[in-house]
């Protein structure tokens, strides 16, 4: 396992969110950013495996998308044990293990049940060790670069959870630790016990339509040198503009899929109408809507990477083109005017999350 360079980590705090281009990738369009206080430099556009590679698309397309991601300079791959109950991890274990381990940055998560046993879930120290071992076997690797709490476990003393994460780091099975959709209270509790350097990544939902983490989570994490790696930056494809109000869902799209379209009812005609108002703005700027939406997310220096899903290689290539794209102040103002009051801006509790912290 690569060493955890303490001096580099301290220096990383001073350059948090600056862009970096790893050696050997300087001739590619992809851009890279520091991940929190870690020594990791990750691609601004990353590849996720939530709905797509957990059963939404077949293995052949999973491989094609993954290989394309590597070809265009994407080096950050995000998954979880619960995605297809191990299917996504196993697929990437087969595909990514064919490449040198130092060529990609691998992140996975735990929290959700992986069996029918009533206590076989959560963030006890035992679960952290057990689930990581299983993930490593499926991923065919000796370590993950970032091991993340998929949600906060309010049933378990936070001290035990932190000790569990510290243990797998000390054993060399996880290089760094992250969390997804923790409340500000939970973030403070975790960093007070584990120290600012234990956590390097926060993974919230974030897009033009979902701005909930901006008010509290972003500044709280930035003060602790914790980067954001955001999920659903395209609002599950809504911000590409392909879903139109009062029109039939396009065949072959995510919302047309029985396995991937479960969230389509969240996006009302009012939302879809607002999104359509973005089309001429993107056209005037000479870019497609997905590029504009991803560049909008990446405009924030707190964001290290935007996690994108893809069911076809051409989607991976299109998403990658958003790296390094800047949006003018005038363009950002036009976007806000077009969307009006549609975006969620106030803090919200994520699906599967719960408030509160238990101490010993």
Q: CA-CA distance, 320 to 192, in Å (whole number)?
A: 37
Nearest Cα neighbor of 75 from 104, 50, 47, 51 is 104
Instruction: Give the distance from CA 144 to its chain's centroid.
Output: 15
Q: What angle do CA 320, 57, 121 make, to 5 degrees?
A: 95
124's CB contacts (< 8 A; 6+ apart) are: 153, 156, 160, 161, 164
For 265-333, list the strands marked E by DSSP: 303-308
Here the tokens at position 66 are 């993954």
Phi, psi of 93 (to 5 degrees): -60, -40
Residues 168 and 174: beta-carbon distance below 8 Å: yes
* Cβ proximity of 292 and 339 under 8 Å: no
Catalytically annotated residue among 83, 143, 147, 176: 83
Residue with tokens 């009012």: 270
54 vs 160: CA distance, rounded Å: 30
Torsion angles phi and psi, residue 229, rounded to 5: -120, 105
Q: Which residues contact 195 (CB under 8 A, 6 or more apart)?
A: none
Strands, E assignment, the chain = 19-20, 32-34, 41-43, 45-48, 76-78, 105-110, 144-149, 174-179, 199-202, 227-231, 303-308
Active site residue 83: yes
Tokens of 197: 């350097």
Residues taking part in catalysis = 83
């Amino acid at each position: 396992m690569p060493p955890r360079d303490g001096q580099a980590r301290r220096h990383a705090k001073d350059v948090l969110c600056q862009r970096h281009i790893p050696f050997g990738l300087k001739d590619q369009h992809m851009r890279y950013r520091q991940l929190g206080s870690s020594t990791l430099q990750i691609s601004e556009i990353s590849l996720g495996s939530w709905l797509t590679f957990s059963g939404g698309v077949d293995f052949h397309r999973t491989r094609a998308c993954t290989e394309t991601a590597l070809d265009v300079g994407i080096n950050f791959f995000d998954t979880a044990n619960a995605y297809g109950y191990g299917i996504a991890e196993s697929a990437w274990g087969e595909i990514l293990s064919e490449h040198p381990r130092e060529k990609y940055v691998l992140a996975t998560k735990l929290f959700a049940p992986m069996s029918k046993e009533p206590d076989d879930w959560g963030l006890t120290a035992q679960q952290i060790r057990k689930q990581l071992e299983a993930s490593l076997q499926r991923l065919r690797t000796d370590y993950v670069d970032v091991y993340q709490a998929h949600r906060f476990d309010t049933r378990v003393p936070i001290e035990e959870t932190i000790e569990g994460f510290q243990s797998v780091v000390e054993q060399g099975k996880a290089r760094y630790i992250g969390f997804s959709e923790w409340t500000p209270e939970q973030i403070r509790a975790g960093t007070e016990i584990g120290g600012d350097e234990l956590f390097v990544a926060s993974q919230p939902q974030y897009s033009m339509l979902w701005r909930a983490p901006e008010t509290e989570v972003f500044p709280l994490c930035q003060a602790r040198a914790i980067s954001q790696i955001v999920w659903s930056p395209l609002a599950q494809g809504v911000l590409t503009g392909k879903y139109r109000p009062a029109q039939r869902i396009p065949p072959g799209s995510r919302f047309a899929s029985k396995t991937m379209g479960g969230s389509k009812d969240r996006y009302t005609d009012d939302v879809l109408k607002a999104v359509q108002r973005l089309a001429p703005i993107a056209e005037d700027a000479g870019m497609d809507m997905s590029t504009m939406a991803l560049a909008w997310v990446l405009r924030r220096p707190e964001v290290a990477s935007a996690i994108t899903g893809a069911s076809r290689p051409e989607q991976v290539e299109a998403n990658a083109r958003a790296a390094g794209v800047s949006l003018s102040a005038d363009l950002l103002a036009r976007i806000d005017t077009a969307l009006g009051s549609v975006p969620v801006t106030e803090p919200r509790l994520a699906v599967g999350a719960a408030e509160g912290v238990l101490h010993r």
